[in-house]
Each structure stands twice: as C-alpha cells, then as structure tokens.
Amino acid sequence: MTKNNLPISIAIIGGGFSGSIVAAHLLINATFPLNIKLIERRPTFGRGVAYGTKYGCHLLNVPAAKMSAFPDDPEHFLRWVQKEEQSRGNLMPSVVKPDTFVPRKIYGEYVQAVLDEAEAAAKENVQLERIKNEAVSISPDANGATVSLSTGQTLRADKIVLALGNFPPTDPAIQDKSFYTSLRYVSYPWSPHALSDIDPNDAVLLIGSGLTMLDLAVALKEQGHAGAIHVVSRHGLLPYPHKFTTPYPAFLSVEGAPKAIRSLVRLVREEVKNAIARGYDWRAVLDSLRPITQQLWQQLPLEEQRRFLRHVRIYWEVHRHRVSPGVADIVAEMLHSEQMVVHAGRIQAYDEDDEAVDVAIRKRHTTDIEVVRVARVINSTGTECDYRKFGHPLIQNLRSHGFIRSDALAIGLDVSPNGALLDVDGVVSQILYTLGPPRQGRLWETTAVPEIRVQAQELAQELLRSRNYS
C-alpha cells in the first residue's frame, strides 16, 4: 500500500541521459500509482550537455553497438539508429554498423525517443511530468521533501534523484586572473558562442588536450578555420584513437590484484608488453579490465587512490577514454600540417592588447617560456568534479544544510552502494539519491553510458522496491 493510496512521487533533477533513463525505467517497470517529475532547465529533455551539441562532427566516442540505453538489450540503440538512418540525410553515415561512431546529436534524439516510448508504454496510473524549470533548493522532512524552483513554485516528492551530470570546468589557476573577464576568453567550451566571431585566419588557444579539446578542434575545422590552433596542457598528451581489436582474455582477478597503484600499473604494463608480443593490441588489454575497474578502484586504500589521481590519471584517461577514428584522422591531419601545435606546459600569464592576447607558457620540466599570440582562448580542460567549488544554488543549499558531502577525494559526492547520498555526518539518506558523475569517488568509472545505464536501471529498481515510503 502506498500512503493514503496517493501516487508515489519521484522527482528527478536533471533531464539529460542519466535522469531520462532513470525516468524511462520507472515508467516501464512501475506497477503502482507513480508520478515522476522530471525537472530540466534546458529547453529540451534527454540531451544534457553531452548530446546537446549543434555540430554534426561531434561523434560518440563509443561505437553504436555499445551505446544501448538498456543493459539487458545491448542492441537497442543499434536497432533504433538503423531504423532511423534512412531519414537522416547527410547527418547520418549511410550505413550504421555495430562499429560506427554516430553523431552525438543523433544520440540525443535516441534518448528522447527512449523517454517518449517509455511514457507511451507506461500504465495509466504511471505518469511523467516534464517540468522545464530549475531546482534551487531541497528541504527533506519526515515524509519526503519539498523542491523549490527558480520561479518560486514548490513541489513535493517522496524520493529525489539528483541526475546532475557534469559541471563546467573552472578557470585554470593563475596569479593575475583579469584576462578571465575578457571577451577573448571563453570559460565554458560548450558555450553557443565559443567558436563564433572567430576570423578563420586567427590563431586560437585551447587549454586542455582531452576529448573536449578534440571536439573544439574538429568544430573549428568544420567551420573552415584555417588559422593556427594552439593546444596547451601540462603533459601535452592527446587521447588515443579507437581501434577494433581481438578481445584479450581476463588476466587479472579482483582478489589477485595488487592493492598498491605502483604494482598495479607495473603489472598492467608488463601484460601489455606480453600481449603486444603475442599479436594483441594494447587497447584490448585495457578493455579487459573494464568489467573489474570499479572493484579494483574500490579495494585501493585511500592513499593509493590519491596516488592514482596524482600520477596515473592522465595516462589512464588518454588510453581509456579514446576518440573515434574519424575524429582522430582529422586531428592527425591538423597536427601533420602543423595547423595544430601542442604545447606541454603551464600558462604563466596573459598580456592582452586591442588586437590579441599574448599567452606565456612555461614548458614542462624547463624554465623556458614560450609566447603564443592568439585571438581567443577557450578553456577546454574538462569537467570540474569538486562539489565544494560549485556556486550553483542547489549545491550550495544542499551543502550548507549538510544534506550532502564530498567524497574523501573530493571528486564527487559521498554515496552508499545503492546511490543514496550521505549527509555531512555520514548518515545514508532515505530520500536523496544520485547516479553518474557524482559517484566518481566511489566507483571511479562512472561517466560513460555503459556504466550509467546500469546505475539507472538499478536505481529505478531500488526506488520501486521501497514503494511503501510512509
């Protein structure tokens, strides 16, 4: 029985991939009266930041066969996209195969379609309410919580899912921050104006050399940019391209794996060396770790996790978070023609005049300073994950009331295994849950669709299991 026979109400804050797929699972599986309130501040549901790009050249970094929203139906996306391919004109590759890297904006449509289909298939007393608004505070009480929206309205919910996705990058640390107020500086790489009003012959500087930087570089190429594209990051390492490989057999068990990061890295390196000698690709060795990465992470002591973040993270990311071959080819050509120049080092200072800005870069492991003169600087350092740094009212509100706390590494929020948030005293919430990037401290591997779809399914099951909320 639900309390007073009223429908259970679940509010999902954030209508990107995570929030939409939780909603879809709730719609499909609820067997009792349920009201789902999906709250999204952007004009469209289902896209989030990841799939909201306007550029057709922004491809998924995972092949179509691995992008299903449903872990139990791995070919769901492939079937959908193959059915859709005829009507997509130039945007879609003419034939979508399991190994095709599909444009991200097409994937956004898929997420919307999944939500729409789940809504259509839901039982009559299971309803989805799409609320285009912004949640700015949550007040939990004995019977649930009140969510306040920026327009002043409030709504009640028995359970709340914080499907917050990724937060914007922070400005790189520097002594004199005055350049960060310049119109030549773009602090947010997904800004609709990040690449507008750039003269095609101007030089541009992209800070950061990961997947976000590659997105910007190919978007510049798509809009006919001919000027230099400077890239600066501490190590100057770019993500490796995907390659289809023969799967490598599991070589490491959770129980047998070293609990120290140095030994773990040495072991993986040796395995890669052996594998290559036997004709395998290094990618297959790393991919064989995927099913146990979260467990390997969890059994590392905190100090070893810290050591990983300090010394190994950058190398892990360029090998693990690979780029589609098509994008890699474009970037390789830009590097070959020297249109793109990668600088390993740190930005020391900006000196702006009426025409451009001189950016002084101290080269890695040296005291040498190199100056590049560019018309625009775009921060593409990737998502910020330290919740203590967020000025968003909802995060401020939850933090100031002690309803949430950062994990010990400050790379996400403290969560229990079922996704329930821990408050400032470590008490597991009965009301607030999360999934996706906020679980990074607990799981490490939690930002890609293959992980989030499992979390979405399990979280929906958890929420439906505890139906007697009163």
Q: What residue ranges bind other proteins (CB under 8 A)?
A: 41-43, 49, 134, 136, 150-154, 168, 178, 181-183, 187-188, 190-193, 390-394, 396
**Whole-number Å distance between alpha carbons of 110 and 17:** 10
Nearer to other proteins, 124 or 353 (CB): 353
Spatial distance between the Cα atoms of 444 and 340, rounded to a whole number of angstroms: 31
Closest distance to other proteins from the beta carbon of 306 (Å): 26
Query: Strands 340-352 and 154-157: what pairing?
Result: unpaired
Report helix, strand or coil for 389: helix
Could you give the CA distance from residue 433 to residue 438 in angstroms, rounded to a whole number? 10
Question: Token digits for 335?
Answer: 């590097």
* Nearest residue (CB) to other proteins, 140 versus 168: 168
CB of 191 to other proteins, least distance (A): 5
**d(Cα 197, Cα 340) in Å, to the nearest integer?**
20
Q: Give me the least distance between CB of 376 and other proteins, in Å please.
A: 13
Torsion sign across C-alpha atoms 306, 309, 315, 316: positive
Q: Residue 236 in contact with residue 342, Cβ under 8 Å?
A: yes
Torsion 180-182-184-190 (CA) sign? positive
CB of 153 to other proteins, least distance (A): 6
Choice between 42 and 105, CB closer to other proteins: 42
Task: Work out how close the CB of 168 gets to other proteins at its nearest, in angstroms, rounded to a whole number.
Answer: 6
Closer CB to other proteins, 251 or 390, in the complex: 390
Instruction: Assign residue 444 a region (left: φ > 0; alpha: ψ between -120 and 50; beta: otherwise).
Output: left
Pick the closer one to other proteins by CB: 46 or 345.
Answer: 46
CA quadruple 260, 264, 267, 269: dihedral sign: negative
Q: List the one residue out of 309, 215, 228, 226 whose CA is nearest residue 261.
A: 309
CB of 220 vs other proteins, minimal distance in Å: 19
| Min CB(108)–other proteins separation in Å | 15
For the bound state, the minimum distance from the C-beta of residue 195 to other proteins, rounded and expressed in Å, comes to 13
Nearer to other proteins, 93 or 189 (CB): 189
The tokens for 233 are 């990051």
Cβ pair 42, 52 in contact under 8 A: yes
Nearer to other proteins, 31 or 154 (CB): 154
Q: Which is nearer to other proteins, 48 or 210 (CB)?
A: 48
SS3 134: coil
Amino acid at residue number 200: P
